[in-house]
Amino acid sequence: MKKALICGISGQDGAYLARLLLDKGYEVWGASRDAQASSFHNLARLGIREQVLLESMAPNDFRSVLQLLMKAVPDEIYNLAGQSSVGLSFQQPVETLESISVGTLNLIEAIRFWGGQVRFYNAGSSECFGDTGGVPANEDTPFRPRSPYAVAKSAAFWEVANYREAYGLFACSGILFNHESPLRPSRFVTKKIVSAAVRIAGGSREKLRLGNMAIRRDWGWAPEYVEAMWRMLQQSQPDDYVIATGESHSLEEFVAEAFASVNLDWREHVETDPELMRPTDITAGMGNPAKAREKLGWEAKNKMHRVVRMMADAELSGSVISHDVPHG
CB 243 within 8 A of CB 176: yes
- CB neighbourhood size of 104 (10 A): 30
Confirm whether 149 is a catalytic residue: yes
Confirm whether 195 is a catalytic residue: no
Domains and CATH numbers, the chain: 3-180+221-246+284-300 (3.40.50.720)
- CB neighbourhood size of 85 (10 A): 15
* Low pLDDT (below 70) residues in the chain: 277-280, 319-328
The strand pair at 249-250 and 216-217 is best described as antiparallel
How far apart are the C-alpha atoms of 47 and 202, rounded to whole Å?
28
Note the pTM of the prediction, 2 decimals. Answer: 0.93
Q: Which amino acid is at 316?
A: L
Confirm whether 236 is a catalytic residue: no
Contacts for 143-146: CB closer than 8 Å, 24+ residues apart: 146/280, 146/281, 146/282
Of the residues 127, 224, 247, 257, which is catalytic? 127
pLDDT at 187: 85
Q: What are phi and psi of 257, to 5 degrees?
A: -65, -40
Q: Which residues contact 17 (CB under 8 A, 6 or more apart)?
A: 6, 9, 78, 80, 226, 229, 230
pLDDT at 328: 36
pLDDT at 319: 65
pLDDT at 320: 61
- Residue pLDDT, tens place only, 171-221: 999 999 999 999 998 889 999 999 999 999 999 999 999 998 999 999 999
Of the residues 149, 163, 225, 241, which is catalytic? 149
pLDDT at 131: 87
Beta strand segments in 33-100, E: 53-56, 76-79
pLDDT at 253: 97
How far apart are the C-alpha atoms of 188 and 191, rounded to whole Å?
6
Q: Residues, the chain, total?
A: 328
Of the residues 64, 101, 125, 248, which is catalytic? 125
